[in-house]
Amino acid sequence: MRESFKVGISFGLTSGVITTMGLMVGLYSGTRSLAAVIGGVLTIAIADSFSDALGMHLHEESENEHTPKEIWESTLATFLSKLIFSLTFLIPILCFELETAIIVSVGWGLSLVGILSYLMAKEQKENPVKIIMEHVLIAGAVVGITYFVGNWIFSMFH
């Protein structure tokens, strides 16, 4: 796989998964609203995908090491991977009760982070367990923090 696609896909997947999980958990614990969670996922899938793609585009341009084609490949790969992986979180929401959907979504997201981490570790000939644990713990921290922030908001404004 071309390096420009690999960069965009790995960034888009990671950002899409962690951002969407955090948003879903925070909105759920803060509102207990199906509409808010669905609206949040759709909003993050669209707005943050464009934002991260533009950020990737500007980053790649600023390095002065890439051709215009490579820059656009990274940009497009970031946008599409972030959009697609963010939208996959709608599937559990549409198939399960909201509380169950949140749990399934967190499991899905942590699995994706774990799989990407495993593939990266193997490619870099590193210990996969160490890298998977590091990345899953960071993603888990995001979920935990947004859960507690959402609960705090719920208790303050409900």
Distance CA 112, CA 44 (A): 18
**pLDDT of 70:** 93
* Interval 54-111: pLDDT, tens: 999 999 999 989 999 999 999 999 999 999 999 999 999 999 999 999 999 999 999 9
DSSP string, the chain: --HHHHHHHHHHHHHHHHHHHHHHHHHHHHH--HHHHHHHHHHIIIIIHHHHHHHHHHHHHHTT-S-HHHHHHHHHHHHHHHHHHHHTTHHHHHHS-HHHHHHHHHHHHHHHHHHHHHHHHHHTT--HHHHHHHHHHHHHHHHHHHHHHHHHHHHHH-
Average pLDDT over residues 23-32: 97
Output the pTM of the full model.
0.93
Average pLDDT of span 33-52: 97
pLDDT on residue 71: 94
Query: Residue 1: pLDDT above 90?
Result: no
What is the band of 4 on the pLDDT scale with cuts at 50, 70, 90? confident
